[in-house]
Amino acid sequence: LGRTHMMHGEVVHGAARGRALGFPTANLAHDSVGHIPADGIYAGWLVDQSGTRWPAAISVGSNPTFAGVARQVEAHVIDRPDEAPEAFDLYGQRVAVEFVDRLRGMVAYRGPEALVDQMKLDVDQARRVLAGVGSGA
Ligand code: FMN
């Protein structure tokens, strides 16, 4: 990306589908502010309220696999903390999302299985991209 795209906003409840898919996401509220890049999948960072930077695979778009309509920005934190993963809850927090690199465009898959297969690849790719740039902290 030519410049740093960054957004700030509150984490709100989405369709609550992500958890069932095995890829829970922190959905940014629609009144979030900042530079939203074009629809697609990105590697980046989610910065939580305490300032901790989490590596993330970020989705921007209307989730066409599920006939979504509204444009969403949602971040899946990669490699969540092992200890008390259930306590890792970002709902209600004001977070920042920094977009580092574009991975691909948004795709309408035939169903959740194909999407999940691709999300695994996205997460692997995001992990590699972010390991290369460091946390910037
Ligand atoms: N949705 C799509 O329809 N097509 C995609 O190609 C797509 N790629 C994604 C890649 C990643 C890494 C992530 C985290 C999400 C992606 N999504 C994609 C969005 C999912 O459909 C969405 O996270 C899921 O439906 C859960 O939505 P919810 O948070 O509103 O429950």
Ligand 1 pocket, mutate which of 19, 28, 65, 123 (most atoms under 8 A from CB): 65
pLDDT at site 68: 75
The ipTM estimated for the assembled molecules is: 0.97
CA of 90 to the centre of ligand 1 (A): 17
Helix ranges restricted to H, the chain: 18-21, 112-133
Place domain 5-133 in its CATH homologous superfamily: Riboflavin kinase-like (2.40.30.30)
Compute, in degrees rounded to 10, the torsion defined by CA atoms 124, 126, 132, 137: -130
Which SS3 state, helix, strand or coil, does residue 65 take?
helix
* Angstrom distance (rounded) from CA 25 to CA 75: 5
Nearest residue (by CA) to ligand 1, atom 29, is: 14
Query: What residue spans define the domains of the chain?
Result: 5-133
Ligand 1 pocket, mutate which of 104, 109, 119 (most atoms under 8 A from CB): 119
* Angstrom distance (rounded) from CA 44 to CA 105: 15
CA of 105 to the centre of ligand 1 (A): 12
Instruction: Decide if 14 contacts 28 (C-beta within 8 A).
Output: no
Per-residue pLDDT of the chain (137 residues), as tens digits, is 656 789 999 999 888 888 889 999 999 999 999 989 999 999 999 999 999 999 999 999 999 999 877 899 999 999 877 665 555 679 999 999 999 999 999 999 999 999 999 999 999 999 999 998 766 55
Nearest residue (by CA) to ligand 1, atom 19, is: 63
pLDDT at site 85: 54
Instruction: Decide if 127 contacts 44 (C-beta within 8 A).
Output: no
